[in-house]
Structure 1
Amino acid sequence: MNELRNAVFAKVAQHSIRKIAKNVFLHLHNLDLGFHLSRQTGALSKTIDRGSRGINFVLTAMVFNVVPTVIELALVSSILGLKCGAAFAGISLGCVGVYAAFTLGVTQWRTKFRIYMNQAENEAGNKAIDSLINYETVKYFNNEKFEADRYDGVLKKYESASLKTNTSLALLNFGQNAIFSAALSGIMVLAAHEIIKGNMTVGDLVMVNGLLFQLSVPLGFLGSVYREVRQALIDMQTMFTLMTMDSAIKSKAHAPYLHVDSKTSNIRFENVSFEYAPGKEILKDLSFTIPPGKKIAIVGGSGSGKSTVVRLLYRFYEPTSGRILIGNQDIRDVELESLRRAISIVPQDSVLFHDTIKHNLHYGDLCATEEEVINSAKMAEIHESIVKWPQGYETEVGERGLKLSGGEKQRVAIARAILKNSPILVFDEATSSLDSLTEHNILEALRRATQGRTSICIAHRLSTVMDADEILVLENGRVSETGSHEILLQNPNSLYSKLWKAQNHQGFTSEAKKSLKV
């Protein structure tokens, strides 16, 4: 019956765990970017893992240990009371009461050690994962020993907390055994007195001894169950705390779907201001309009707010003031999923999944056919490279795409954006990791991909945006200059002209020229 019970319950428990873990995972994906930038992946992973295991233990303990033990205690006390008298029932109940009070008190005291141990384990996991993800950086600077020492420092904290947990557990077990031994001795002495008086037989003494021993097994287990349940509840609480966190960025109730196409995909920023932290304003009353079907470039120095424009457009963050409109609809008033479906982005840092090149390309549109995936790879100038690899499109790219070069990762990101086939395209430094020849070929591909679509190109290299219908030059969070490439170059004192000259080696000093000759 025990094995049958385990078999039946396993299905119930595992299904519950799977459902809850999936809900937590989905909730984490729905939280805003600000949450994920302030959290560490290793700790989140540990939290979900421990919380899921905790659910299984709590369900098992409550159904198969706590409830049966309460029933058994009631039966044993009733038999002792009816057969041997109130004193025997009193000792058994008193034993259980003292035992329970001691267990609860000591376990409550021990809880903080478990919390410290969990924190140390999280920190150790974070340090290990962070260091291994940045393996190349560690190697570049010969800091293997430094990383090992940091990891060992965190493990020392875990060792100390674990030691306190184990020693306090030994104290708890000792106290529990002492309480039960005292109760057993007391009830045996009482039974011996009754035998001497002739009120009980030796058989009754054996019965009393057997019944109290019968209680010792579930009681001992109940003590450990309570400890584990307390620890499991702490782990579950941490996981469910994540579920109570609400995303700062979400759709309004009954928000309409954003319907845009190549003719209605105009974008308008109206007096948009934004700061990542109080007192650190990035954008200041930024206003500009992108007509539908036009290619607009945004250029400027580092920190001028170019990438922030993309994050606000995609609603990773909300503007401090002002509003952003697509197709004359405020993006805060439309369904969030429909907004993000309408925009394809090639990010500045192209990170890939630890899977095949085909999976990473297909990720742009999971419903796309294999032929469409290959066509997008051809447009991004990566198809010829892929077919030369031994496993072709089934080649594993490694964690975060580390087996590919920077240029190859960027071309995969471009192919994904093309495959998504959205009416609005955003390229955030889309060709920064490419050589000049490949860049020229991809720019031709991008011209074909952006034809008839509203597109935003953010670039440091001005040569990549010369063909833009209009160029916006950002400076100190505002648009300082606008116009086509030719118009902006007409003013030799403009910021755009200075950037162009600096990038095209027209601003070399005589000393720089001499050093080049040398």
Structure 2
Amino acid sequence: AAATNAIAKAINSGKHEITRDIWLPLVWYSLLTFLSKALKEAQSLIYIKVQQAAYIEIADTTFAHLHSLSLDWHLKKKLGNVVRSMDRGIAAAQQTMQYVFLYLVPTLVEAFAVVLIFVFHFENLRLAVFVGLNLFLYIYVTIKVTLWRKGFRAASTQKDNELHDRLTDSLINYETIKYFAAEPYERREYRSVVEKFQKFSMSVQASLSILNVGQQMIINFTLAGGMILSAVQVVQDPNPNLGNFVAINAYIINVFTPLSFLGTIYNMVISALVDMRSFGQLLAETAEIVDKQGAPELDTTVKNGQAMVEFRKVSFNYAKQPLMRSVKEVSFQVKRGGSMALVGTTGAGKTTITRLLFRFYDVMAGQVLVNSQDVRTVTQRSLR
């Protein structure tokens, strides 16, 4: 505002020669314009430290949370989907803070301030009302169209998840694909997912173009109407003030310049919220196997005559697993320093026995004992 008023003062002071009344406001205009840009860059530099600290905390918390979840969750979850949701979620949390507090809020405050300047400084109520109504229309149209675009963005996000999940799954199962010579099939499936993703990406871009055109129409209409109202005020004033005409034009352009990015900013915020919803669902996952409150650490004291590892009539089956393939009343003992081999066909329960020993799952009946202590009564960390 100070820079714009300075240029108006320079115009009002001008005659037919360069005087101090002309060049001093021009110098102030240049300095204030530079100061505005410099402070904006300083703001970004200061925010980087906050941004980096927040990123580290969110990434660390998410990583620790994923490792705290049960083995069953990790076996059932699609790795590509999880990794993509984590990456986008962390970036979305960062972008939301950045766009809301560094761009959106200052832009709206500046727009409100310009309307007040038209009322109290230029004493042009009609101009203030006209610009204020068009600002409201601009914001309303931006929000409505962006909400309409939200559906395209959500669909694009889903296809992006499927794309990365398909790629990750295919590369992880490289050996199996080679066994069955399934490369052509995998290629067709991957190409199909990529084409669907590009289709929704096109919809996202097309809807953005519609928003940009609508915004530009409102900006040009406001600029034309504002200049007409300003010109009327200058003509009707017994002491014409050309500087005010130029200043009002500059104010309107300046207030809509950051607002021209409002659609992009709002879209980024909405997109970030969509990504954060998926990220929030990831963080909302809870571990099925948890330590009891106040659980002690495993006592590793050597006790003569006691088995180091003991299974007592242990029964267990996975969810949706046929009962005929479940572990039923398994009992055995392994003393300290001893060894035992588990022999059987695929699916006989060898891996399951190991998972129960390390308490990746809880038994449905019986007990798993280590040094005569039920593994469910001690902390998982000390057990493993």
Q: Which residue identity does 1:232 align to in structure 2?
A: A
Match of 1:58 among 96, 119, 124: 96
| Superposition deviation, residue 143 in structure 1 | 2.9
What are the equivalent positions in structure 2 for 1:386-465 lying under 5 Å apart? none
Q: Measure the CA separation in 2 of the matches of 1:134 and 1:279.
A: 23
| Superposition deviation, residue 77 in structure 1 | 1.0
Residue deviations 1:176-195, cap 9 Å, x none?
11222222222233233334
Match of 2:228 among 178, 182, 189: 189
Match of 1:283 among 298, 308, 326: 326
Q: Secondary structure at the match of 2:132?
A: helix
Q: Measure the CA separation in 1 of the matches of 2:183 and 2:345.
A: 35
**RMSD, aligned α-carbons:** 2.2
Q: Secondary structure at the match of 1:277?
A: coil
TM-score by length of 1: 0.61
Alignment pair present for 1:128 and 2:172: no
Alignment pair present for 1:46 and 2:88: no
Greater helix percent: which structure? 2
Structure 1 residues 245 and 61: alpha-carbon distance in aligned structure 2, compared to 1, 3 A threshold: same
The corresponding residue for 1:434 is: none
Q: Measure the CA separation in 1 of the matches of 2:140 and 2:87.
A: 31
The corresponding residue for 1:117 is: 156
Alignment pair present for 1:320 and 2:364: yes
The corresponding residue for 1:357 is: none
Q: Measure the CA separation in 1 of the matches of 2:241 and 2:188.
A: 69
| Superposition deviation, residue 87 in structure 1 | 1.9
Contact 2:312 2:331 in 1 (8 A): yes
TM-score by length of 2: 0.81
Residue deviations 1:257-312, cap 9 Å, x none?
01225545533334433221246234355141415224333334433323212211
Structure 1 residues 88 and 144: alpha-carbon distance in aligned structure 2, compared to 1, 3 A threshold: same
Bigger relative contact order, structure 1 or 2, given CA contacts below 8 A and separation 6+? 2
| Superposition deviation, residue 252 in structure 1 | 1.6
Q: Secondary structure at the match of 1:295?
A: coil
Residue deviations 1:302-342, cap 9 Å, x none?
333232122112111122333322223221111011111xx
Q: Which residue identity does 1:280 align to in structure 2?
A: P
Contact 2:312 2:368 in 1 (8 A): yes
Q: Measure the CA separation in 2 of the matches of 1:46 and 1:133.
A: 16
Structure 1 residues 22 and 176: alpha-carbon distance in aligned structure 2, compared to 1, 3 A threshold: same
Q: Measure the CA separation in 2 of the matches of 1:6 and 1:254.
A: 46
Q: Secondary structure at the match of 2:298?
A: coil
The corresponding residue for 2:198 is: 159
What are the equivalent positions in structure 2 for 1:293-372 lying under 5 Å apart? 293=336, 294-340=338-384
| Superposition deviation, residue 198 in structure 1 | 3.4
The corresponding residue for 1:516 is: none
Q: Which residue identity does 2:98 align to in structure 1?
A: T
Match of 2:252 among 177, 191, 212: 212
Q: Measure the CA separation in 1 of the matches of 2:377 and 2:371.
A: 12
Structure 1 residues 139 and 296: alpha-carbon distance in aligned structure 2, compared to 1, 3 A threshold: closer
- Structure 2 unmatched runs, 5+: 1-37
Q: Measure the CA separation in 2 of the matches of 1:165 and 1:76.
A: 33
Q: Secondary structure at the match of 2:251?
A: helix
Q: Secondary structure at the match of 2:343?
A: strand
| Superposition deviation, residue 167 in structure 1 | 0.5
Alignment pair present for 1:292 and 2:335: yes
Match of 2:177 among 120, 138, 141: 138
Contact 1:273 1:319 in 2 (8 A): yes
Q: Measure the CA separation in 2 of the matches of 1:88 and 1:323.
A: 81
Q: Measure the CA separation in 1 of the matches of 2:235 and 2:358.
A: 88
Q: Secondary structure at the match of 2:96?
A: helix
Structure 1 residues 134 and 206: alpha-carbon distance in aligned structure 2, compared to 1, 3 A threshold: same
Alignment pair present for 1:79 and 2:111: no
| Superposition deviation, residue 113 in structure 1 | 1.2
Size of the aligned set, in residue pairs, is 340
Contact 1:33 1:316 in 2 (8 A): yes
Q: Measure the CA separation in 2 of the matches of 1:12 and 1:298.
A: 54
Alignment pair present for 1:14 and 2:14: no
The corresponding residue for 2:29 is: none
The corresponding residue for 2:66 is: 28
The corresponding residue for 1:247 is: 287
The corresponding residue for 2:33 is: none
Alignment pair present for 1:229 and 2:269: yes
Q: Measure the CA separation in 1 of the matches of 2:200 and 2:287.
A: 34
Structure 1 residues 284 and 50: alpha-carbon distance in aligned structure 2, compared to 1, 3 A threshold: closer
Alignment pair present for 1:92 and 2:135: no
Structure 1 residues 91 and 57: alpha-carbon distance in aligned structure 2, compared to 1, 3 A threshold: same
Match of 1:3 among 34, 37, 41: 41
What are the equivalent positions in structure 2 for 1:467-478 lying under 5 Å apart? none
| Superposition deviation, residue 205 in structure 1 | 2.6
| Superposition deviation, residue 247 in structure 1 | 0.6
| Superposition deviation, residue 146 in structure 1 | 2.0
Q: Secondary structure at the match of 2:254?
A: helix
| Superposition deviation, residue 201 in structure 1 | 4.0
- Structure 1 unmatched runs, 5+: 341-518
Greater strand percent: which structure? 1
Q: Secondary structure at the match of 1:290?
A: strand
Contact 1:48 1:239 in 2 (8 A): yes
Q: Which residue identity does 1:9 align to in structure 2?
A: Y
